[in-house]
Amino acid sequence: MRLIFKTSLCLIFLFICSQTMAQIHNELYIEEIEEEQETLNEKYKNDDTPQEGYEQQKSEQILYYELESKQQEELKYKIKKIEYSVDGEAIKNYLKQQQVEIPAIIQDSEEEKDSTIVKSTNEAAQENKRDNHYKKDNNEQKSRTLFGVSRFDSRIEFAALDANYPEEKQMLLTAKSVGMIVEKKQLKKVSKNYYQLNTTRTLANTYNVCPETAFKEQPIAGVGTAFVIGDNQFITAKHVFEKDPKKYAIVFGYKVLNKINTVENIIAERDIYFVEKITKSSNQLDICEFTTNKQFYGIPLSIEKQKQAKFNTSVYMIGHPLGLPKKLTLKASINKADHPQYFLTTLDSFAGNSGSPVFDKTTHKVIGVMVSGELDFIFNGTCYKEKSCSPPYCLGEKVVRITSFIN
């Protein structure tokens, strides 16, 4: 009898200990999630990613909401990263599709709607104060020198840009309206709202490039570049469409995400636009304008229609060289501008840059479209090495004046 009594006491003691440990574990778990939530909230609070002029621009946010467990009454958090428009409708639609009750954080009450979907008045005031402080303390440092991957290659990742510098902030904003042209067969639908982009090929295993080649381990997926000029109007180099244009799509957001070359190959449906038809083209200029299946969610690029690009104008280019993730090409200028329809530049361009917009570095307006250039690689007997030369030994990369096509 004593043995049974002692055994019962032991079992009761163990049960109390297990419940206590479980409670401690749950409290620690909740505390950890709340700390992570505060960290991410602080990150987004201080996020300086350029969004000016994007009253209808969609962006990424983090939603936190509670789910009640059927097995136990402990509190749990589930974090879901989704993309939404400023009116919040995409959030609600997504949650309805997932058959999840819409959290109180995004209910339609007039008192909470403005403060949950967009920045609160206090946050906006703080941001304005921070911006004014930045302008006050940084009048003398409005730009910095950016360097490419080598002295002969001025391409740079967008992850390396800092939105605290006005010039780089504008470049980040401009890049949102430049996409990569891919063949439809490279996209595989994996869910209702997402596609997987085929990124199995790399620069190294496709072209047998030499070991010192920049970006050789990055995946290649595209065949050209296009940019937005209207609601659903795009421009690219005409030769990019080697097949029926309807066999192609435009993908946005394909870029290196961080300094360790992480590339996202799961693309949201909202970032994919299927080509419908060519509405205007010129064999002589090698440029075409085309429409897509839906309206672009962002802002079309600004086009320079007044002044002509002149000799020695500083320029930059945004595109997908060799089908790589999006790159910014800097430290270039116009080295010949005596032709009325095109000019030559010192831009480091490659196959895949065809259709890339070329910008005036001062105004950030499109002044031309990249259509052709020098040979990209030369075979050295073992592997393919990037060809590098400068005027007068190389003529330069040909850019068609945007006014020659639009006007």
pLDDT score of 9: 54
Task: Kindly tell me if the per-residue pLDDT of 365 is higher than 70.
Answer: yes
Read off the pLDDT of each residue in 83-105 and give the average, rounded to a whole number.
51
Task: Kindly tell me if the per-residue pLDDT of 336 is higher than 80.
Answer: yes
Most confident of 138-147, 250-259, 351-360: 351-360
Residue pointed to by tokens 């047998």: 208
Of 279 and 390, more confident = 279
Residue pointed to by tokens 């991957």: 149
Task: Kindly tell me if the per-residue pLDDT of 61 is higher than 60.
Answer: no
Closest CA to 341 of 298, 295, 258, 405: 405
Supply the DSSP symbol for 10.
Answer: H
- Note the residue count of the chain: 407
What is the chain's Cα-based Rg?
26
Task: Kindly tell me if the per-residue pLDDT of 355 is higher than 50.
Answer: yes
Residue pointed to by tokens 């962006």: 59
Distance CA 360, CA 368 (A): 9
Closest CA to 292 of 173, 176, 181, 367: 181
Q: Residue 253 in contact with residue 264, Cβ under 8 Å? A: yes
Mean pLDDT check: name the lowest of 139-148, 172-181, 193-202, 205-214.
139-148
Grade residue 34 by pLDDT with cuts at 50, 70 and 90.
low
pLDDT score of 7: 54
Tell whether omega for the bond before 392 is within 30 degrees of 0, i.e. cis: yes
The active-site residue out of 85, 239, 333, 388 is 239
Read off the pLDDT of each residue in 30-56 and give the average, rounded to a whole number.
49
Distance CA 85, CA 100 (A): 19
3-state DSSP assignment of residue 131: helix
Domain range 155-406, CATH architecture: Beta Barrel (2.40)
pLDDT score of 384: 94
pLDDT tens profile 65-79 = 333 333 333 333 333
Read off the pLDDT of each residue in 92-119 and give the average, rounded to a whole number.
47
HEC profile of 313-376: CEEEEEECHHHCCCEEEEEEEEEECCCCCEEEECCCCCCCCCCCEEEECCCCCEEEEEEECCCC
Most confident of 44-48, 95-99, 254-258, 330-334: 330-334
The maximal CA–CA distance of the chain, rounded, in angstroms, is: 108
The active-site residue out of 154, 177, 286, 356 is 286
Distance CA 228, CA 217 (A): 29
Read off the pLDDT of each residue in 39-68 and give the average, rounded to a whole number.
41
Of 69 and 189, more confident = 189
Q: Residue 342 in contact with residue 399, Cβ under 8 Å? A: yes
pLDDT score of 88: 52
3-state DSSP assignment of residue 284: coil
Distance CA 47, CA 65 (A): 22
Task: Kindly tell me if the per-residue pLDDT of 108 is higher than 50.
Answer: no
pLDDT score of 142: 78
354 noted as active-site residue = yes
Q: Where are the CATH 2.40.10.120 domain residues in the chain?
A: 155-406
pLDDT score of 104: 47
How far, in whole angstroms, is CA 3 from its chain's centroid? 69
Q: Residue 5 in contact with residue 12, Cβ under 8 Å? A: no
Question: Is the four-CA dihedral 127, 131, 137, 138 of positive or negative sign?
Answer: positive
